[in-house]
Amino acid sequence: MTNRTLTIGVLSGDPDLPYSYGVDGRFGPEDMEAVRQAVAAVDGLDGYRAVQLSDHASLLDGLRREPPDLALNFCDTGYRNLLTNERNVPALLELLEIPYTGADPGCMSLCGDKALVRLLAASHGIPVPSETVVDLRADPLVLPELYPAMIKPNEGCGSLGVTPDSVVHDAAAADACLRQLAADSPATHPRALIQDFLTGPEYTLGLVGNPGAGFTVLPVLEIDYSRLDPELPPILSYGSKADPDSPYWQALQFRRAELDTATEAAMVEQATWLFERLGFRDYARVDFRAGADGVPRLLDANFNPTWSHDGKMAIMAGWAGYGYGDLLGMILAAARQRYGL
């Protein structure tokens, strides 16, 4: 008796539709190449046949007509490339009873509120930055008490709204930054965060697996800001993730972190606890940055983190000896075990 080949639907954004996150309002060549590489990597794994699902106009009918055995949900653009529809993609898959990788709608909703995640982490004793939540509809706006400060949207992903002007050194700059966020924010995202601007090393830790079944902990990555113009604040801005012409995109590099055993063990414990409490599934990435005291503090907890062949998860997996196809195979295996496939 031979094992049946499973059909994997690689679900992504639609390159033919507008995409507000893109620098030009559309998919860039890097986005298209990422999807191509993911499909090819899955197709190269034993026991799998990859089917690309990127045409959102025909997506619903196609999923009903020929449902895959398992959907690799890489549609971080949201249905019809609307970021507010990101949680609707797993909701749709659940309605159609199609197993899928990654976070469910409840996890996405919870993690969409960064202040709420911080409160949960702090309740467990996880170090976090000092933080104030600002209602962008208020007049006057609440300003930082200490400078420098970091100001960013409370909702959103991919560093949307994070620019060099997000690091402020006085009240005038803070007021201008908050008013710009208020002008850019839809009614559904009316809050911003004011945080201590942490000046220490910035780390990210990747996990693959699930509670109860165990995790593969990938080597910790450190953001290397050494080539960045010293006039620019060392942060992961929107430009660092989406704009090839940005000085951040061009200068930032990643290196394997060198951490003492106790610090790394604490980060792993904190990340695995957050994975379970936030309802992550199959894989996740947790970001930390140290303060002046050297203690890493939670920056963000990311469901369905960047999955591309050249993203942080793939880089960390490479340091552990896993190729890109191996990483996707581990994610698929975690989902299969969870569903009993």
Q: Which residues pair with 51 in a beta bridge?
A: 9
On whether residue 329 sits in a domain, the answer given is yes
On whether residue 176 sits in a domain, the answer given is yes
Distances 109 to 3, 43, 114, 155, 302 between C-alpha atoms, Å: 37, 32, 10, 10, 12
Average pLDDT of span 78-83: 93
Q: Which positions ≥6 away from 291 have C-beta within 8 Å? A: 129, 196, 198, 199, 200, 297
On whether residue 265 sits in a domain, the answer given is yes
Average pLDDT of span 189-205: 94
What's the whole-number average pLDDT of the chain? 94
Report pLDDT for 160.
Answer: 82
Together in a domain, 211 and 289: yes
Provide, for the chain, the percentages of residues in helix, strand and coil under a 3-state DSSP scheme, each rounded to the nearest 5: 35, 20, 45
Together in a domain, 311 and 275: yes
On whether residue 240 sits in a domain, the answer given is no
Q: Which positions ≥6 away from 43 have C-beta within 8 Å? A: 49, 50
Higher pLDDT, residue 202 or 187: 202
Together in a domain, 65 and 161: no
Report pLDDT for 76.
Answer: 93
b/e 154-176 (16+ beta carbons within 10 angstroms → b): bbbbebbbbbeebbbeeeebbee
pLDDT of 187 strictly over 90 = no
Report pLDDT for 208.
Answer: 98
Together in a domain, 263 and 331: yes
Here the tokens at position 198 are 């942490």
Report pLDDT for 50.
Answer: 97
On whether residue 241 sits in a domain, the answer given is no
Together in a domain, 50 and 164: no
Residues making up the chain, counted from first to last: 341
Report pLDDT for 229.
Answer: 95
pLDDT of 190 strictly over 80 = yes
Tally of structural domains, the chain: 3
Q: What's the burial of 301, exposed, middle or buried (CB within 10 Å: 0-12/13-18/19+)?
A: buried
Report pLDDT for 188.
Answer: 66
pLDDT of 2 strictly over 60 = no
Measured CA to CA, the distance from residue 338 to residue 341 in angstroms comes to 8
Q: Which positions ≥6 away from 337 have C-beta within 8 Å? A: 210, 213
Together in a domain, 86 and 147: no
Together in a domain, 131 and 161: yes
Going by pLDDT thresholds of 50, 70 and 90, the confidence category of residue 21 is confident
Together in a domain, 203 and 333: yes
**pLDDT for 296-322, tens place per residue?**
999 999 999 999 999 999 999 999 999
Amino acid at 178: L
pLDDT of 1 strictly over 80 = no
Measured CA to CA, the distance from residue 44 to residue 2 in angstroms comes to 18
Enclosing domain of residue 63? 6-100
**pLDDT for 257-300, tens place per residue?**
999 999 999 999 999 999 999 999 999 999 999 999 999 999 99
Report pLDDT for 238.
Answer: 87
Here the tokens at position 257 are 């972190």
